Chains A and B, each alone.
Chain A
Amino acid sequence: MAKVIINDIPVEALNDASILDAAKEVDIFIPTLCHLDLESFNIEHRTGSCRVCMVEVELGGRSKMMPACCTPVQDGMKIKTNTPEIIQIRRTVLELLLSDHPFDCLICAKSLDCELQALARQFGIDHLTYTGERSSYPRDTSSNAINRDLDKCIMCRRCETACNEIQTVKVLTGYKRGFMAVVAPPEMKPLNDTNCVFCGQCVNVCPTGALTEINYINPVWKAINDPTKKVIVQTAPAVRVGIGEEFNIPENESATGKLVAGLRRLGFDAVFDTDFSADLTIMEEGHELINRINKNENLPILTSCCPGWVNFMEYQFPDLLHIPSTCKSPQQMFGAIAKSYYAEKIGVSPKDLIVVSIMPCLAKKYEAAKPEFINNGVPDVDYVLSTRELAKMFKEAGINIAKLKDEDYDNPLGESTGAGVIFGASGGVLEAALRTVSEVISKTELKDVNFVEVRGLEGIKEATVKIGELDVKVAVTSGLGNARKILEKIRSGEAKYHAIEIMACPGGCINGGGQPYIHGDTTKLERRMKMIYTEDERKVIRKSHDNPYIQKLYKEFLGEPGSKKSHELLHTHYHKKREK
């Protein structure tokens, strides 16, 4: 322990604690900007580059300004956090950052959700002492997922940590020097020409409007208002536990029914649930797993719900493309069923049926536009909106979903089980699969459907589950850096598993690149995760194969899991992508 004095208050802190953390112990809050502490994942980004958290440190008779976020406490330090000089320095640093920032806050996607703006407000900045040339870069809208407006980059480098260290995708780096320095792919390549997997973790951590999603709100409004189109919507599991944050719905209250009601008020012709197609995924993927276990070949099976992860694999592990499940993601399964089974049922031509997805994800935008998911020019999914974009639509339409009475999803594509909703949290897909697979293999009803050992925010979870006579070894990873570790072990033959769930975003879809910004507050993720499992518990049916509408779908249309029709509609194949 180190004994220090902060603003005349004695504090005892752990030896490697930062001054910032030590100060928090005694409720002294030091402003930060580039610093990001993702506590639940044990990830801390502290480059000390913005210099907003400067404090005065006196030690051994010498006094110096130090950044609080990355200076460890030392015994005997005397620290001042708010002298007039310190406040003036912070203010000047902030004014400098603002002087190289476009003042388009009123029309910025991050307005009121911007950490730079919040800090300017906190400091009461009402004019700029310093003005001058501003750095200017071409806007990168090359992908259909991520919008890069580097004029707004403040060089906090959080995106680099997210991309390079957490996700190990490594497409972002500091580029150019001095005043022109900015974070970009090497040689300023557009994102679409890189190995970017569009997980959107960079967007999630960006404090300003430099990184945002490509926005599809307008085409969706247009479609809704087009009388010749029937427009249906699906909502991913994690959306219902995120959207409430945008409308101050109490933490422990389910937002699902309000989300459905809101979507109906927006004018969608039918409100369906991706949870339904998550159940469908379990039927197909479970069938595939059972087959592979029975034949004891091509193991482990890897889940394929997450397009960020599928992208990552196609770029970085092309030698392992035979092991992921061939199942399309729930989003794409929904689209395929909607444009065949459902379109037929309601007598609408697939080209006149518009499928809109609400996803916690940016890679889903990329996925929906993949050529393999477009039939005769008609995409299975037409538009993908992030949870954040949907919140904006609600607000634009004057719909405060917090005030709405709960409503139910429409049928036949809206009924789902608890197994479907847990897809939203890391471990959920595997748990859902285990619920079904163990009953199918052992032919006895599960006493306890909760496989708690695969739940939680840890990056890599392992478990052995007894199914009949068989010890099924499973692993769950979230975050692509963790996925890489597991994949390398599979490649080397060091790891032996039957099934592995992989999600690109740390913690799974609850922390997807399209979710409401958490600004480093990972307790929000823990809450979202808790809500996912609460939704599961509240469901009467908690196993995918018990979903009556799924049973009906097979009976009326698909036949059985793994049938020829299933393969046509619900399965896909993977391509080796050239490293760019």
Chain B
Amino acid sequence: MVKQVRIALRNCGRVNPESIEDYINARGYEALVTCLFDKKPADVINIITESGLRGRGGGGFPTGIKWKAAAAEVSDEKFIICNADEGDPGAFMDRAVLEGDTHSVLEAMTIAGYSVGADKGIIYIRAEYPLAIERIKKAIEISKEYGFLGKNILGTEFSFDIELKYGAGAFVCGEETALIASIEGKRGEPVVKPPYPAQKGLWGKPTIVNNVETFANICPIILNGKDWFRSIGTQKSPGTKVFALAGKINNVGLIEIPMGMTLRNVIDNIGGGIRDGKEFKAVQTGGPSGGCITRENLDTPIDYDNLLSIGSMMGSGGMIVMDEDDCMVNFAKFFLEFTIDESCGKCAPCRVGNKRLLELLEKVTNGQATEEIIPQIEQLCATIKKASLCGLGQTSPNPVLSTLRYFRNEYDEHIKDKKCRSKVCKALLKYEIVPDKCNGCTRCARSCPVQCISGKVKEVHTIDQKACIKCGVCYTNCKFNAIIVS
């Protein structure tokens, strides 16, 4: 059994994030010193490139190549942006790193600045992370006092400063071009790439945008070397990944696992199995942009490419476990609702397409759909995926596509049989009174908000199916288990 390996979270809970001495004692700022005094910028980029580190924000783009592209640009000004606009439902690894190991992010950003020739860093952070913000501010101040940040760092020619910019809670601002627009004071909307931010980013200058967790990996790579990093994880995805384990599982919270670990290991061992002894159904990775992974893929080693090939994605690390009580159509609907709320509305496929897609899913869960709806859904998903402008739109149909792929039977049951096996989709439920168990206590009739239950005292009651709004109040109130749902 492979255990957790902590690289990004190495200091979290172990060093006092508000003490720079503690951080230094844990080899803090040693990587920066090594880079500034022993390595040329190109050497640093080479180490990062050869380590195989890939962007932990979701896309998995090789970090070294990004840095190299920005380093190659000639410009009077360049920027390093730390993307801390964490927005996936339930995910909080960036917050954990920023709150628990603040200095490591500052140090890594400074190293990035040194490597690509930037003297300005910006941390774009959600305003809803007050503790992280407070700690970053303190850390910036103290590291300036120690000479790790600011003008002529450690007496060298290299200067680097970091400031904070606050996100107002728009999920799409996690997309790098939208994030840059937001920093520039514009509406947070993505723009067409190319040009990439590494060529033309903030204020039209070469800009590196890396996620918090990516930065959290930099110093250990510099300190321990690319070979050490490559010894962890898989060949194409070296290192570890932090996940926010959530849902119907016994042990919820942040985990950091080496790439290549199987989902079975995560769920059964680290997660301690499914809650209440229920049956495992699926795991959603990649948040609203990802897809679900089912029993048949439980032994797939987790890395960027494997997840993509089974119709999901790494994403920023959300991992939601579902059991037999979860309806997969409803589940797809949930994430789509999130996407619709968070779409910026710029491009037509995402703005209108996702709305129409949700309406189609609603028809399925309301029992109004016919069989022709599936090809319609598929065509719409294909268009949204291929024609949307940014990553948000291009991945938004994933939850629908992957549930269609692995749980087509549930869709068919909703459409043909008008049944929801998990009893989640209200419109498809039928509440009935079992005559043998009903003793005519009238409790159900009295509690029914639409008065659709009739019957005399001490006689068997009946529910008028046409009037029933499927609220479930009778079911909850019946003390004799005389009401069944089907």
Contact = CB atoms under 8 A, between A and B. Distances in A.
A174 B346 CA distance: 8
Given A48-B389, A173-B187, A181-B345, A97 B380 contact: no
A375 B386 CA distance: 62
Task: Give the contact-size bracket for chain B.
Answer: 20 to 34
B192 interface: yes
Contacts of B387: 51, 54, 65, 89, 92-93
A154 B344 contact: no
A93 B380 CA distance: 9
Interface stretch (B281-289, B294-302, B335-343): B335-343
Interface stretch (B54-62, B85-93, B107-115, B353-361): B353-361
B376 interface: yes
Contacts, number: 112
B348 interface: yes
Nearest to A96: B352
Interface residues of A, number: 36
Contact of B345 (A71, A88, A176): A176
Contacts of B388: 51
Given A65-B386, A88-B379, A173-B187, A178 B347 contact: no
Contacts of A96: 348-349, 352-353, 356, 383
A275 interface: no
A161 to B, nearest CB: 13
Contact of B356 (A99, A155, A177, A181): A99
A97 B387 CA distance: 13
A496 to B, nearest CB: 33
Interface in B364-394: 376, 379-380, 382-383, 386-389
Nearest to A94: B348
B95 interface: no
B161 interface: no
Interface in B130-188: 170, 172, 187
A155 B189 CA distance: 13
A155 B351 contact: yes
Contact of A51 (B187, B349, B359): B349
B379 to A, nearest CB: 6
A99 B345 contact: no
B348 A97 contact: yes
Given A48-B347, A48-B389, A133 B359 contact: yes
Interface string A36-61: 00000000000111111010000000
B194 interface: yes
Interface string A114-143: 000000000000000110110000000000
Contacts of B382: 89
A89 B387 CA distance: 7
Contacts of B359: 132-133
Interface string A47-82: 111111010000000000101001110000000000
Given A89-B382, A179-B343, A180-B345, 5 more contacts: A49-B346, A65-B387, A70-B192, A130-B376, A178-B342
Interface of A: 47-52, 54, 65, 67, 70-72, 88-89, 92-93, 96-97, 99-100, 129-130, 132-133, 154-155, 157, 173-174, 176-182
Interface of B: 170, 172, 187, 189, 191-192, 194, 340-349, 351-356, 359, 376, 379-380, 382-383, 386-389
27 contacts: A48-B389, A49-B389, A50-B347, A51-B348, A52-B348, A54-B386, A70-B192, A89-B387, A92-B349, A92-B383, A96-B348, A96-B352, A97-B348, A130-B380, A132-B356, A133-B359, A155-B348, A173-B187, A174-B187, A174-B189, A174-B345, A177-B341, A177-B342, A178-B342, A179-B351, A180-B345, A181-B345
